[in-house]
Structure 1
Amino acid sequence: MFFLPRVIINKDKQGALSKAGAARDKGAAPAAGEESHEGHAHAPGEGHDAEEVAHVEATPQQLGEIQLLRRQFTSEQNNGNRLKLASQLGEKYAAISKYDSAGYFYEQAAEIRPGETAYQKAADQYFEAFSFAATEDRSKVLGEKARGLYEKVLKNNPANLDAKTNIAMTYIASESPMQGITLLREVIATDPNNEKALFNLGILSIQSTQYDKAVERFEKLVSINPKHVQGNFYLGVALAESGKKQEAAAAFKKAKSLSDDPGFQASVDNELSKLQ
């Protein structure tokens, strides 16, 4: 199994595209002081963001700060103060990888002071939670939440290609994958060198066993950004699947030289061993 990106696209038994990962549903506003258990900081209705990938334990100090801020936020009536508190809570939750809670509070801030930046900050956190969602139900809820906020970003700035690309990925993980692919192609049509869109289209080409297209996408990506670690890695994967072992080995070795992460290095070594 090769090294996977955060947003993992899998084929289900019916051949549809779905996504694996964890997070919370569309819960109501978190009530103050209701962290689930010691060492964690979850609002009611939350799951465990990044539990299998990047789970971060909250320290007693962080828990105390979050509890205090939530009590203050719940009782505060002044919108200016609520805006400040919501932003602080978003930062605190993001720092401990509770991306769904971070998204919730950044969304509260955006409701007080709407705008492209405010909506994107909330959307990005929900998208991060979506990227780690462990079940299809969580994925659907968080994907829809992120998508709705990104659509508000685009209403403020239709040229925001990052928002459009992330919307595409939420569709690809849904029951409407072609809608997402269409959006990614629109991004490429507007910006042929868009790294995120090229990467995601390359991943989708690998997933659908269109390895020639994947090679094309990743070759362009690494020509634009030679130090793109996963771009080089997946170029190696696509080349290996195409039977081009020598070129694949070169791509894997390039990827390995760009990252010191032990897990990634092990994944590269595993792929290289398959070429022997």
Structure 2
Amino acid sequence: MFFLPKVVVNDDKESLAKGETTAAVPEGHSEDDGHNHGAEGEAAADVHTKATPEQLLALTTARAKYNKATDTQTKNRLATELAAAYAAASKYDSAGYYYEIAANARGGEKSYKKAGDAYYEAFTFAATQQRAGELGAKARNMYEQVLKNNPSDLDAKTNVAMTYIASSNPMQGITLLREVIATDPNNQKALFNLGILSIQSGQYDKAVDRFRQLVAVNPEHVEGTFYLALSLANTGEKEEAKTLFNKVKGMSNDPALNTSVDEELAKLN
């Protein structure tokens, strides 16, 4: 499916673990240009946006400045700059590594959130369950610092939930998502992820409920509309599914999405 993430399934339980970034290096730091992503990281290079020459130059410059720094204070300050350069080049595990260095030195909710978001982005591309577990754990550690200061940060809580779903304890993640929904019934991210998990477990009727609510909250949610159509198709509501699939084609000019929609429509004809 066009929007459907890669998954790792544990026994009979759905487990969302989208993609892999790279082979492990110190503390989750990925190798890249100037290093080398390595064979295992090649798949991730295809998933992530290719870095432009300008982004690679900025990364090389930031890395040189960081390596040249001798005092701890300057190095910690430059860690944020280097992390941003890695993020711009779509090297999210490396970005997380340096954002974490900066966060541990500086403290503060925003600093830990940046590190958590970078690790989470890397987690979403983890191609193996082991790598997803490593990056998910790093993201959780950062988000836990965020939630200590701001328990109402539902975005961080939702991301923590998704890392658990890719772990050996997926029910803890589902429980957290339900807690988010209990606090904010219209939380789009939680509704979307619960809908995806329902699809993964073949519970299309529940998926219909989640995605109906999502598109009611945000009628322009392309992914939500696509998956509502897909869920309806799998519950026998073919005519409504066709209508929604055609609506999706009018919501986006993405050729890959349109191809996916056409494939689903062909199944219904």
Q: TM-score, normalised by structure 2?
A: 0.90
Shift of 1:202: 0.5
Distance 1:56 1:237 in 2: 30
Matches within 5 A, 1:247-262: 247-262=240-255
- Please give the root-mean-square deviation of Cα atoms over the aligned residues, in Å: 2.5
1:123 aligns with 2:116: yes
Shift of 1:32: 11
Task: From the superposition, tell whether residues 103 and 31 of structure 1 become closer, same or farther in structure 2 (CA, over 3 Å).
Answer: closer
1:15 aligns with 2:12: yes
Letter in 2 for 1:54: H
Task: From the superposition, tell whether residues 274 and 86 of structure 1 become closer, same or farther in structure 2 (CA, over 3 Å).
Answer: same
Shift of 1:11: 2.9
Letter in 1 for 2:7: I
Contact preservation (8 Å) 1:31, 1:70? no
Matches within 5 A, 1:209-220: 209-220=202-213
Task: From the superposition, tell whether residues 263 and 33 of structure 1 become closer, same or farther in structure 2 (CA, over 3 Å).
Answer: closer
Partner of 2:266: 273
Task: From the superposition, tell whether residues 245 and 192 of structure 1 become closer, same or farther in structure 2 (CA, over 3 Å).
Answer: same
Partner of 2:60: 67
Task: From the superposition, tell whether residues 31 and 23 of structure 1 become closer, same or farther in structure 2 (CA, over 3 Å).
Answer: closer
Task: From the superposition, tell whether residues 181 and 32 of structure 1 become closer, same or farther in structure 2 (CA, over 3 Å).
Answer: closer
Structure 1 SS opposite 2:152? coil
Contact preservation (8 Å) 1:50, 1:97? no
Letter in 2 for 1:171: Y
Structure 2 SS opposite 1:17? coil
Structure 1 SS opposite 2:202? coil
Structure 1 SS opposite 2:7? strand
Partner of 1:139: 132
Letter in 2 for 1:164: K
Q: For residues 216-251 of structure 1, what are the alpha-carbon distances to aligned partners after superposition, in whole Å with 9 as ceiling and x for unaligned? A: 100000000000000000000110000000111112
Shift of 1:71: 3.2
Task: From the superposition, tell whether residues 77 and 49 of structure 1 become closer, same or farther in structure 2 (CA, over 3 Å).
Answer: farther
1:232 aligns with 2:200: no
Letter in 2 for 1:27: P
Q: For residues 102-157 of structure 1, what are the alpha-carbon distances to aligned partners after superposition, in whole Å with 9 as ceiling and x for unaligned? A: 11111111112111111111111111111011112211111111111111110110
Task: From the superposition, tell whether residues 252 and 29 of structure 1 become closer, same or farther in structure 2 (CA, over 3 Å).
Answer: closer
Letter in 1 for 2:3: L
Aligned residues: 267
Structure 1 SS opposite 2:81? helix
Match among 72, 79, 104 for residue 111 of structure 1: 104
Structure 2 SS opposite 1:36? coil
Q: For residues 202-223 of structure 1, what are the alpha-carbon distances to aligned partners after superposition, in whole Å with 9 as ceiling and x for unaligned? A: 1111111111111010000000
Distance 1:219 1:153 in 2: 31
Percent identity, aligned pairs only, is: 52
Distance 1:31 1:239 in 2: 41
Partner of 2:186: 193
**More helix, by proportion:** 2
Shift of 1:70: 2.2
Question: Please, which runs of 5 or more residues in structure 2 have no aligned partner?
Answer: none
Distance 1:49 1:105 in 2: 23
Letter in 2 for 1:98: K
1:3 aligns with 2:2: yes
Q: TM-score, normalised by structure 1?
A: 0.88
